[in-house]
Amino acid sequence: GAVVSQHPSWVICKSGTSVKIECRSLDFQATTMFWYRQFPKQSLMLMATSNEGSKATYEQGVEKDKFLINHASLTLSTLTVTSAHPEDSSFYICSARDQTGDFYEQYFGPGTRLTVT
């Protein structure tokens, strides 16, 4: 099946620094990728949708200047948490849509746990 990887799987950073998370589709091309965040014992909340070669579409309440998304190629999207604060600590999960398959099928990465100290 389609595989999506994320790197790093976990990261600890100091408050005020920026952190970049990568999401890659390993065996398929993804014109659309999605970024979710999940707080402990809660559901996944969609943060933004990124389309290759264009600006990301952010969900209401998500600061686009804080969560920078770049979908530079058909297999890579990055999420940069800028000037991170402890409240940004969360589990970030990306997913990717296989452009050759049913357009509503998404494949999820294993997630990245961010801890801001």
Q: Which residues here bind other proteins, judged by CB under 8 A?
A: 6, 32, 34, 36, 41-46, 49, 91, 93, 95, 103-111, 113
Q: Which residue number, 77 or 95, has a Cβ lying nearer to other proteins?
A: 95
Give the contacts of 90 (CB within 8 A, at least 6 positions apart). Answer: 37, 38, 39, 113, 114
State the minimum distance, in angstroms, from the CB of residue 58 to other proteins.
13
State the minimum distance, in angstroms, from the CB of residue 83 to other proteins.
26
> Cα–Cα distance between 43 and 36 in angstroms, integer?
10
Q: Which residue number, 44 or 74, has a Cβ lying nearer to other proteins?
A: 44
Q: Which residue number, 39 or 72, has a Cβ lying nearer to other proteins?
A: 39
